[in-house]
């Protein structure tokens, strides 16, 4: 009870530290040129400061060092903080100088190598139901790098509206924290402490970032949040099972969905995968008439649905999980086609459903016609 009360006080202190730092970092952003100027791809119509992620990073770092000052695990905490610093530095360079995608990727890979080699964070084995368990061996490093790169970039891509990435990150982190606390057999409590410390730091920043935003996360914050979420989710994947892999994928369903369909959209339109466009999930909702806040709240709701499904998976049987995944993918594809995320003319599922419906309708009409003609003959 005493530990819980002290921890809550530390979370409140972390939140207030973030509240105090954010206005100062807003001024610093303008001083160092970390700003987002309006253009055809932006939704802002004035120059905005973009180094807000520094507030979250500093508050989180102070909270972690404060919490683990007596039992600082050099094998876990220090590599994570060093890697986070590399990520934040990479994002800050992009916010100031707009570095290339290749340079950003290099920064993410360097940070990933720190947590992999020094922190020993990675996927060792993979267990698939009805198939068996496999040692990844030489695949351990590439699988870990792909996971971190994919999640980090997915969260970065969704940072397109005021408060969007922050809100989705909080929903994902709270779900990962609960999953770690209740379902992770080892190191679950220390991991949950770090996760909720990050949630507290985001909470303090959030009022400045929600619409109308006074400061943006920038790549400084978006890359940092994506990286930390990917590393936290990896903690439960050392000996990965079907459920342990699916759980973080569903928790991060919104950014993963947006990224996957963005890649498909660019492939179909014969454009480079790294090219930018205004067809992301939040852009489509705005084009359909949603207000700025309405689009953000809709995506929050979608993220919460994914989070609830992820939590349910920890209680369901293998066959129930399969049915849950199939039904979720079916509903998701229908939603994606309705909003035109890949393109307004790319609706394979809806065309199939229309064809089946029209065919059934024609069959019913034909039966009624035959019955009517038969009745008239009599």
Q: What is the pLDDT of residue 46?
A: 78
From residue 101, give the alpha-carbon distance in Å to each of 107, 108, 312. 10, 11, 37
pLDDT at 278 over 80: no
Of 110-119, 154-163, 241-250, least confident by mean pLDDT is: 241-250
| Neighbour tally for 19: CB within 10 Å | 17
How many helices (H) and strands (E) are present in the chain, helices listed first? 14, 5
For strand 132-135 and strand 125-128, is the pairing parallel, antiparallel, or unpaired?
antiparallel
Answering whether pTM is above 0.85, one says yes
- pLDDT level of residue 268 (50, 70, 90 thresholds): confident
Q: How far apart are CA 13 and CA 1, in angstroms?
A: 19
Q: How far apart are CA 171 and CA 166, in angstroms?
A: 9
Binding site members: 156, 219
- CA angle (37, 153, 52) in 5-degree steps: 45
| Neighbour tally for 345: CB within 10 Å | 8
Query: For the segment 51-100, what is each residue's pLDDT rounded down to a tens digit?
Result: 999 999 999 999 998 877 655 565 678 889 999 999 999 999 999 998 98
* H or E element at residue 128: strand 125-128
Binding site members for Mg(2+): 156, 219
| Stronger pLDDT, 262 or 204, i.e. the higher one | 204
Q: What is the pLDDT of residue 151?
A: 92
**Tokens matching residue 95:** 């916010």
| Beta-sheet strand order (sheet of 125-128) | 132-135, 125-128, 239-241
* Percentage of residues of the chain with pLDDT beyond 90: 38
In whole numbers, what is the pLDDT of the chain averaged over residues? 84
Q: What is the pLDDT of residue 23?
A: 94
Query: For the segment 98-136, what is each residue's pLDDT rounded down to a tens digit?
Result: 898 899 999 999 999 999 998 888 877 776 666 666 777
């Amino acid at each position: 009870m005493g530990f819980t009360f002290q921890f809550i006080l530390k979370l409140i202190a972390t939140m207030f530290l973030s509240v105090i730092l954010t206005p100062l970092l807003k001024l610093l952003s303008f001083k160092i040129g970390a700003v987002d100027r309006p253009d055809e791809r932006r939704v802002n119509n004035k120059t905005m400061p973009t180094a807000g992620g520094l507030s979250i990073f500093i508050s989180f770092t102070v909270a972690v060092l404060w919490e683990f000052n007596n039992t600082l695990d050099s094998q876990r905490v220090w590599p994570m903080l060093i890697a986070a610093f590399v990520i934040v530095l990479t994002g800050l360079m992009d916010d100031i100088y707009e570095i290339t995608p290749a340079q950003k990727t290099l920064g993410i890979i360097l940070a990933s190598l720190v947590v992999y080699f020094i922190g020993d964070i990675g996927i060792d084995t993979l267990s698939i139901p009805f198939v068996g368990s496999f040692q990844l061996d030489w695949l351990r490093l590439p699988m870990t790098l792909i996971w971190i790169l994919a999640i980090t970039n997915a969260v970065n891509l969704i940072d397109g509206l005021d408060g969007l990435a922050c809100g989705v990150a909080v929903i994902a982190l709270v779900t990962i924290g609960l999953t770690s606390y209740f379902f992770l057999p080892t190191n679950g409590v220390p991991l949950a402490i770090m996760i909720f410390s990050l949630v507290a730091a985001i909470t303090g920043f959030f009022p400045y970032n929600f619409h109308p935003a006074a400061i943006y996360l920038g790549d400084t914050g978006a890359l940092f949040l994506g990286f930390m979420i990917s590393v936290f989710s990896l903690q439960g994947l050392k000996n990965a099972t079907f459920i342990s892999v699916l759980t973080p994928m569903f928790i991060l369903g919104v950014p993963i969905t947006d990224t996957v369909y963005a890649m498909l959209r660019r492939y179909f339109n014969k454009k480079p995968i790294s090219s930018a466009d205004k067809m992301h999930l939040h852009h489509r909702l705005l084009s359909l008439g949603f207000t700025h806040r309405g689009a953000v709240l809709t995506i929050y709701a979608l993220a919460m649905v994914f989070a609830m499904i992820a939590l349910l998976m920890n209680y369901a049987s293998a066959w129930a999980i399969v049915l849950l995944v199939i039904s979720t993918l079916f509903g998701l594809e229908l939603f994606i086609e309705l909003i035109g995320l890949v393109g307004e003319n790319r609706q394979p599922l809806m065309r199939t459903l229309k064809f089946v419906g029209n065919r059934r309708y024609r069959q019913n009409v034909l039966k009624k016609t035959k019955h009517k003609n038969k009745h008239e003959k009599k």
